[in-house]
Amino acid sequence: MLVFLWYLLASLLGAGAAPAADEITYLPGLQKQPSFKQYSGYLSGTEGKHLHYWFVESQNDPSQDPVVLWLNGGPGCSSLDGLLTEHGPFLIMDDGATLQYNPYSWNKIANVLYLESPVGVGFSYSDDGKFATNDTEVSLNNYLALKDFFRLFPEFSKNQLFLTGESYGGIYIPTLAERVMEDADLNLQGVAVGNGMSSYELNDNSLVFFAYYHGLLGSQLWSELQTFCCKDGQCNFYNNQNPNCSTCLGDVQDIVYSSGLNMYNLYASCPGGVRHRVSAERGQLVIRDLGNNFINHQWTRLWNQKLLSLVALHESVRLDPPCTNSTPSTLYLNNQYVKKALHISPKALDWVICSAEVNLNYGRLYMDVKKQYLKLLSAMKYRVLVYNGDVDMACNFMGDEWFVESLQQQVQVQRRPWYYEDVDGRQVGGFVKEFDNIAFLTIKGSGHMVPTDKPVAAFAMFTRFIKKQPY
């Protein structure tokens, strides 16, 4: 009897015991504090690695709603960008001090866990101060952090779990899912990746077609690309050894990434104006290149060597994604009162949107994630969504569509428009093609950051994905 009472007492004290020390009791910048609970603190990875998290409970029914992990990409960029500028419960205003509630927040229907990964990104840190890592280490640390989250929040351990992410999250999420699906203690239900890097080869090959048919290249360059990079109707823009092809692709890269176009949204302006890929500003080297495209070409290797030599000459290096304005988020998150509210460790670095050190020293081990997707799909029990804003040039829709097609799954619903409701009535959200357990979906007129560009359509898509409704 005494043993039973002891177990009962332990379960009452332990179960449902979210870490009180991590609860955000007052968040600066809000006119009114939220009705839902939120937490911020650290989760443990491998020895000495501390990953910062910000967890927002569902505004609907936290005990029953799913837990959704969100990872931004880079590699080396912070998931708090997803929270504060994409689909979090509050969005940062231009003053860098004020937050406004987001009517299309994903935590309207889910408990959302934003994880800053890997260490060195945002407020995540390691005891030894070393941030060099690679795809395999990152997937392990993300898995360990997820396990630690459910240790701290046991009341959510039986909830449905979805893994979601964006951009280089196209590598992070499937490689994490591969570990999670082997763990019977985690109630994995599905995976969603937005504008993800799924295959370097398909991304490079499709980008050239995307650029030409969106009017960026002109007929002469296109004719030269066809002559030097294509044979028997097949084009290789990925690792073509023909020097004339390489020269043409150098021109393509200059137009797409260096001419001043917004690579994240072709039809949007470039916040802050047109800048160089690399510049020195007040003694600091500023890099506006995440290094994900045309990585096999000789001029890319030469560029990377030049970049590393420039880095060595500067004490301070900043990595800014091109045509993005991270100043408001940076001001807000480095405010001492905000850091206190979020329980940020004094060992953490100042917050920046992307870590140059992580990005420049990152080991890209997976050139595609086909194996991971096929493993997920072979289980025949997970819902998988690959979605793309259709005017993004960082990870364009065509490359991801080709990738999903390459998985050779049984088609269930042929490509068709999908719809959602907004203030003007029923609208075309984009196009969707559904296979066994996986769907490819576009968001019309959106760039790389879908919930930022098309919040209403993004929320409709997310709701249908989470609730396992038809798109």
CA proximity to 123, closest of 354, 316, 350, 337: 350
Q: Give yes or no for a contact between 171 and 200, defined as CB atoms under 8 angstroms apart.
A: no
Q: Give yes or no for a contact between 288 and 325, defined as CB atoms under 8 angstroms apart.
A: no
Residue numbers annotated as active site: 167, 392, 448
What is the separation, in whole angstroms, between the first and last Cα of the chain?
A: 53
Residue matched to tokens 């205003």:
93
CA atoms within 13 A on the CB side of 196: 33
230: left (phi over 0), alpha (psi -120 to 50) or beta: beta
Q: Give yes or no for a contact between 56 and 89, defined as CB atoms under 8 angstroms apart.
A: yes
Question: How many C-beta neighbours within 10 Å does residue 385 have?
Answer: 24
Eight-class DSSP state of 439: E
Q: Is the peptide bond before 118 cis (omega within 30 degrees of 0)?
A: yes
Element (H, E) at 234: strand 234-235
- Say how far residue 39 (Cα) sits from the centre of its chain: 21
Beta strands 284-287 and 278-281, pairing class: antiparallel
Instruction: Note the residue count of the chain.
Output: 471
DSSP 356-417: HHHHHT-B---SB-HHHHHHHHHTT--EEEEEEETT-SSS-HHHHHHHHHHT-PPEEEEEEE
Can you say whether the dihedral through the CA atoms of 331, 334, 337, 340 is positive or negative? positive
- Which of 190-209 are b and which e, b meaning 16 or more Cβ less than 10 Å from the residue's Cβ? bbbbbbbbbbbbbbbbbbbb
- Say how far residue 279 (Cα) sits from the centre of its chain: 26
